[in-house]
Amino acid sequence: MLLQVTTDLAKTKSLDEALETLVKITTSTIGAERGTIFLNDSSTGELYSRIAQGNFRREIRIMNSKGVAGWVFSHNEGAIIPDAYKDDRFNKAVDVRTGFRTKSILCAPLRTVNGDKIGVSQILNKIDGEFTQEDLDLLEAMTEQAAIAIQGNIIVEQVEAARRQELEFLDVVSQVSSELELTPLLQKIISTISTMLDCERATLFINDEKTNELYTEVGEGLDEKSVIRFPNHLGIAGTVFTSAKAVNIPHAYADLRFNPSFDKQTGFFTRSILCMPVLNKEGKTIGVSQVLNKRGGSFNQEDEKRLAAFTSQISMGIENAKLFDDVQNQKNYSESILSSMHDAVLTVDEEKLIKTCNPAGLKIFRQAHINDILNSSIEELLGQENSWLYKKIDTVEEQEEFLDATLEIQGEKLSVNISITPLLGQKNENLGVMIMIEDISSEKRMKSTMSRYMDPELADQLMNAGESDDVMGGKQSIASVLFSDVRSFTTITEELGAQGTVKLLNEYFTIMVDCITDEGGMLDKFIGDAMMCIFGTPIPHDDDPDRAVRAAIRMMTDLKVFNDRRASEGKMPIDHGMGINTDSIVSGNIGSPKRMDYTVIGDGVNLAARIESACKQYGAHILISEFTYKAVKATYRTRQVDYVIVKGKTEPVGVYEVLDFHDNTSYPDMVEALGSFNDGYRAWNDGKWDQAIKQFNVVKKINPNDKAAQLYLDRCAHMKKNPPKGDWDGVWVMTSK
């Protein structure tokens, strides 16, 4: 019978067939209803058997220390159980699942001739009588006789599985290595790792050397647009990256390095983790592969070996894909720059064939699509009328050349700036040239026109602002208008004569204009010894009222320096007054076809002129309207000097004096004087003449030269003699300009 066992098993061609043959021999020889052969899986500590179900085979696995079979395997001795349900080692749940009724059990260890345990042979329910010691001896003899053949089949199966796995592995590596795009490559790698290690999730983190972060856009269970980034020294992945050593964690929540916050965010429960560094051929860590939750248990040493082998093979593919990705990004970046440029950019190779042309170039050369000119001759594109440029390209060898020239495109002449730059390779070989063309036709025409009306510097600003057409045509806007006027100009003229007067005015205007332009204002015109300046048009700013006030203060301080220098030279000083108003004005070209000026008009301009004229009355140098006072953002030393109806107006307007240009020499104790003046002005508005006179006398005592205080002393005295009829509102009607 034992010889028959050997003979029958020798005829089998596979492990499954050998196990099936052994089961038939043992059950028929001993006379039992059912039999099973369990083999030991040393890598998982499990006993497994294979059951045929139609064309498929299902594998049953149990721990090699549980149940009757586990007890026999772990104790390495047979067992005779006459009544299974009375034995504590028996697992009744198996009968519940299968519907089979187990009565008696005969179980023997499956050992080789050398005594090595490779599994368990188990038969159930003896047909006649009960299992005996003789049955056990016979079962052990048969299994020992069959062990050699079974072990051989196991080895063959393992070799074939390893070979098949190796071929699949090489095929996968080949497929992965052929992928150049990074995202599809990572998707293939993740899918392969998940299948290869039979895990629930897998992720491949790449190190970003610019930010020192590990990141991934691809992972099992991640949304398509999810991107995970974290510092490359944090967490388990960070530990593996910095140490370049694998980490295998069977119970994630028992490990202090594990960060459970990701589980809380995603709702995923991490049980086991295997994390492996990805090294390039120089041994540098370029990333980390991480797999979670091995199905059926924890990750073992075989999983570690397989993942390590796989990552070592794919590192080159990852680096190549990263390089390709960087090159592609650089290409897209360069193309985006060229597409956004207003200047035409063409490149031609050493044979003068067009290789690239941006949208601006297509527009200049009146071409619909890049394919219409790609790989065609630059000479054909330029035409005979621009042959000079084609010849110029031939002369450019090592240094770029700039040209201010005219191109003729389809009968239209364009004023252009042209830059021709040679393209050289790493070995200084000629690769062709790059031609950059800037169309300045409209700018030249507009600047030529505008230069007739205003300062060339302002014209340049307008051209850069790109608003010249709207501005020159006229528009309404809010602006601050500044008028300045030289005091006692007639006396100066009489003393200096014509030539001396012109020289003085030229020196004076040079200083004053700088004060205006430095604050972004525009000199509108000279009116004899007066100036009209605009802040807010044609180029507006958020703080134009402040710019106007700052310019006026600087005009006073620079005038003092100018007068000190003149005094040291024995020359007479010069004085001036300024008025500023912020209001709606109309700006644009005004005049006849033969003579036009870019200027501003409107009530806002007229009020600024009236306020400037009022400086003499108050002894002031800088007066601003209530509209400018409310519009300024900064804080200045001011006082309201009147609420007046100016000449030509019906509505009263508040007038304020700016005193920031004074120092302690020109106005001592100014802060105290301002407080008393403001108290006096409030008393004036309330019609309390005696109280107002008292406060204005305090101001006069501090500064006897305060003309505004003296003006209100005279007004109060007049009002006491001629009390107002009806309600007093503090409004004074100005009878002169």
- Rounded Cα distance between 663 and 678, Å, is 20
- pLDDT greater than 90 at residue 553: yes
- pLDDT greater than 90 at residue 145: no
Q: What is the mean pLDDT of residues 694-709?
A: 92
- pLDDT greater than 80 at residue 400: no
CATH of domain 179-333: 3.30.450.40
Quote the DSSP letter at residue 217.
S
Domain boundaries, the chain: 2-161, 179-333, 341-439, 478-661, 665-726
CATH of domain 2-161: 3.30.450.40
Stated as kind and residue range, the H or E segment containing 584 is: strand 576-591
Q: How many CB atoms lie within 10 A of CB 664?
A: 8
Crossing angle between the packed helical segments 15-30 and 133-177, to the nearest 10 degrees: 170
Q: 84 with 33: CB under 8 angstroms?
A: no
Residue 563, exposed/middle/buried by CB under 10 A (0-12, 13-18, 19+)? Answer: middle
DSSP assignments along 103-116, one per residue: --EEEEEEE-TT--
**pLDDT for the residue 468:** 45
CATH of domain 478-661: 3.30.70.1230
Stated as kind and residue range, the H or E segment containing 214 is: strand 213-216
Among 173-177, 251-255, 647-651, 658-662, which is the least confidently predicted range? 173-177
- pLDDT greater than 80 at residue 226: no
**pLDDT for the residue 591:** 66
For 147-185, the pLDDT digits (tens) are: 777 777 777 777 776 677 666 666 665 655 555 565 676
DSSP assignments along 600-612, one per residue: EESHHHHHHHHHH
- pLDDT greater than 80 at residue 113: no
For 594-648, the pLDDT digits (tens) are: 666 667 888 889 899 999 988 998 999 999 999 999 999 988 999 999 888 876 6
Q: Which residue has better confidence, 678 or 267? A: 678
Establish whether domains 179-333 and 478-661 are of one fold: no
Domain 341-439 class, CATH top level: alpha beta
Among 26-40, 300-314, 407-421, 532-546, which is the least confidently predicted range? 300-314
Q: What is the pTM of this model?
A: 0.43
**pLDDT for the residue 414:** 84
